[in-house]
Amino acid sequence: MAVAGLLVVACASSPLLEEGAGAHTTSTPPSIRTDNPVETNSNDLGGVVVALVGVDVEVSNAVAPFDHHSNVDSLLLELGLHKARTQDIYDCLAREGFAPRQVSELPARDDPILMANAGFPFVEALARDGIPVLPPTPGAPDDFREYSQAEREASRSCAEAVDRSHGEVIVALELWVSVRFAWEPVLAEIDATDEIRSLVGEFSSCLIEEGIPADSAASETAYLSYVDFLLADTGGDPTEFVEVSERMGKLYAECGRELFETRERMRGGERREAFLREHEESIRRLSDLLYGGGASP
């Protein structure tokens, strides 16, 4: 049974790429640039569709998430693009004569792994069910394969070739990264406002009144880290684990509701509208790549 308290977008940092095929623990492959590198390539992008089976997202949500549901769009698009990049690498390996590899499936929209409790909490679900208990991640057949030195070297070469190709998947990744990373300063600006700072103080006071140590009540991340400690301290006892998950998750929602809802309102307000207007061209081109007609679902 997995410890599930912090859940700071764990899937976004869990690589879909295997070692030797551009494996990484950051949000994008090391070769993907974040300085809006495709601004001059608009004439090359029209009518191209990236085949991302099962990824049905609103592009404006994916580049500028403001609540749980829009953040799910963002995570699914990120994971889907990495999956498509990985598939390109695997196709290259197959052409080199190596055994086929299977790309991992994307999680469903309601998979608890997509609950980013620290950054984009799903308040209603937390208030109803507490913090979700994640099931163990099943292993894929490729997880247990031993790769020869030749295959590892071929994987690296294929990954480099895919990234150098600047194909549709890489262009889409660069577009997504350039806009999504530009959204982070806006989120930080909102968190720095007097209104949010005051609500963080009220959140902390509420937790302290409920018996949470002051240093563990200083922020959402501090509290969720404390919850992870409590969950680990259950020693794996299923009944106690679920009890702690429910109790501490509901307390998180109770003390943080006004903070979370105010933050969502501010994130989804005028600042976001201005941001989407500023990046309208990049968002349109990303949508063209994903859906071919310039309009996301």
Pull the structure tokens for residue 84: 């498509």
Domain that holds residue 128: 10-34+47-291
Does 2 reside within a domain? no
Pick the more confident residue, 35 or 167. Answer: 167
Is the model's pLDDT at 53 over the cut of 80? Answer: no
> Higher model confidence: residue 159 or residue 2?
159
C-alpha closest to that of 169 among 58, 100, 77, 94: 77
In a domain, 39, yes or no: no
Which tokens hold the place of 173? 């990744």
Tell me the average pLDDT of the chain: 82
Domain assignment present for residue 3? The answer is no
Q: How many distinct structural domains can be found in the chain? A: 1
pTM of the model: 0.80
Given a cut of 60, is residue 137 above it in pLDDT?
no
How many residues appear in the chain? 297
1 in any annotated domain: no
Q: What is the mean pLDDT of the segment spanning 182-209?
A: 98
In a domain, 296, yes or no: no
Q: Report the range of poorest mean pLDDT among 45-49, 165-169, 255-259.
A: 45-49
Q: Given 3-state DSSP classes, what are the helix, strand and coil percentages for the chain, each rounded to the nearest 5?
A: 60, 0, 40
pLDDT of res. 49: 40
Q: What are phi and psi of 13, to 5 degrees?
A: -110, 5
With respect to residue 4, please indicate whether it lies within any of the assigned structural domains: no
Distance CA 199, CA 207 (A): 12
Residue 5 binned pLDDT confidence (cut-offs 50, 70, 90) = low
Look at 13-17, 104-108, 207-211, 251-255 and tell me which has the smallest mean pLDDT.
13-17
- Higher per-residue pLDDT: 141 or 188: 188
Res 43 pLDDT > 90: no
Q: At 116, phi and psi to the nearest 5? A: -95, 85
d(CA 70, CA 210): 31
Distances (CA, A) of 139 to 136, 146, 258, 292: 9, 14, 40, 34
Cα gap 282→32, rounded to integer Å: 16
**By percentage, how much of the chain surpasses pLDDT 90?**
64
pLDDT at 133: 78
Q: How far is CA 116 from CA 12, 55, 71, 119, in A?
A: 10, 19, 8, 6
Q: pLDDT digit string (tens) for 151-186? A: 999 999 999 999 998 888 999 999 999 999 999 999
Measured in degrees and rounded to the nearest 5, phi and psi for residue 118 equal -75, -35
Q: Which of 42-46, 65-69, 150-154, 225-229 has the lowest mean pLDDT?
A: 42-46
In a domain, 87, yes or no: yes
Residue 5 in any domain: the answer is: no
pLDDT at 257 over 90: yes
Q: What is the DSSP letter of 21?
A: T
